[in-house]
Amino acid sequence: MEPIVTIASGAIRGRTEAGVTRFLGVPFAAAPVGPKRFQLPEPAPAWDGVREATENGATCAQTPYPAPIHALIGSDGIPGDEYLNANVWTPDPGAEGLPVLVWIHGGAFARGSNARAIYDGTAFARDGVVMVGINYRLGISGFAELEGAPSNRGLHDQIFALRWVRENIAPFGGDPDNVTIFGESAGAMSVASLIAAPQTAGLFRRAIMQSGNGAVAADADDARKVSAELAATLGISPTAADFGKLGPDELRTAQNAVALALMQDPDPQRWGASVIQNGGGLMCLFPVIDNDIVEGPPTEVLRTHPDRAVPLIAGTTADEFRFFTVPAGLAAAITADALPFVLTRYGIDPAVAQTYSTQRPDATPAEVFNAIMTDLSFRAGTFDFAEANATTEPTHVYEFAWPTDLPDLGACHVLEVPFVFDALAHAHSITGPTPPQALADEIHAAWVGFATDGTTGWPQFTAAEKNVRIFDSPESTTVTDPRADELAALRQSFTRA
């Protein structure tokens, strides 16, 4: 079947298979190319006739992941100008009032798209949810702080897409008043920013943060240091006018060079303390405090404006940081002698390693480093955001603990995504050949229940009782405040460093 629906811009033709209808590559905004690359999003031009929506649309300009990461999760790169597009999966475009999930992909604000196989929304539609996957501007296009350009263009794209969903989701069978946003990694950090932003009131009812952090926001002055480095690499000035003259290839080249320089030399004096600390040494371009949609780090904003909280699921994987060190061979370089030096480079008092080592008597120095960095980059910031949110809205926290069959990766970053989407068949490159389907059934059902009516199946997280659902196989459990001593030692380490 090839059903046709009509949205504000015109009619689109999708495709129905096995009871699920998908509409792919639907533009929600005009193509941001040329001078418009560095301006606010604009409505997509209307079209005549029926537009085909059966193939994935273009993706924002980006380079492939380095080979070891590409081997795990693949890369994105579909050419074209209309990369501000949405994919929609629905159980029935003729239905009414179905819950809606809007997916915001990850990729360190520099890579990724809605076209990845593990983001396929078929299983959500199968289970009665309309799912939308959106693209947004990345890297220099979306987040470089440039003279003559609005800040946070990538976040503006996300808000624009949410307004598009509100105005257009009914023809797909969705309820515009029952929208849940969810995202992983940079997508989860975006979710935190969107919850805290005053401009998003009424655009979504609930939210899910997977492997995010509520502290991710750069000071504008620090962000301008990164832009100056980018401009110096290109031999231009850090202005929208000069950057607007460049093509995607030049932007990609500069972006990669600066990202590599930051990872090799995470010096706060060079890049700015907020870029190093809040970017985890992994990101150089991410949301900037602009006193508009980003009034400050999201957790701090939420503490000041608790009325902006929404019902929330937030969590991390148990071994997030192994994803960044093991495939690239960096873990092998972290010896007992190197560990104190490396921790100091990230502003952490090396004494914190003793607490983590005591809890892990058989751990190597690299495993201790990865545990500390997992907490620094993801778990601590997730707990803080959850605590702030829980003061006014129901909040549920989880940890994904099942370790992949692949050597030394453990329960690494990204690993929970194919379980959430019930898309294990597309994920053996990171899960190994025999991931537990029962665990995917459990997690996917929890996300469906939350999107439908706010239920999760495990107790709430509060300041007094920090319940955490540990997703694992063969059995998941709920525990209270896991490894609290390690988080306490990590926080204290910053006061001593």
List active site positions: 185, 320, 413
Q: What is the helix (H) or strand (E) element at residue 131, kind and residue range?
A: strand 130-134
Alpha-carbon distance of 492 to 494, in angstroms, equals: 5
Helix axes 338-345, 365-374, angle to 10 degrees: 20
Bridge partners of residue 13, in order along the sequence: 4, 52
Task: Answer whether 315's CB lies under 8 Å from 400's CB.
Answer: yes
What SS3 state is found at 273? Answer: helix
Task: Determine what percent of the chain falls in helix, strand and coil, rounding each to the nearest 5.
Answer: 40, 15, 40
Q: In what order do the strands lie in the sheet with 395-400?
A: 15-17, 20-27, 85-90, 130-134, 98-104, 174-184, 206-210, 312-317, 395-400, 467-471, 477-480
| Helical residues (DSSP H) of 181-267, grouped into ranges | 186-196, 220-234, 240-243, 248-264
What is the CB neighbour count within 10 angstroms for residue 344?
12
Helix axes 352-359, 365-374, angle to 10 degrees: 110
Which residue, 31, 37, 43, is CA-closest to 84?
Answer: 31
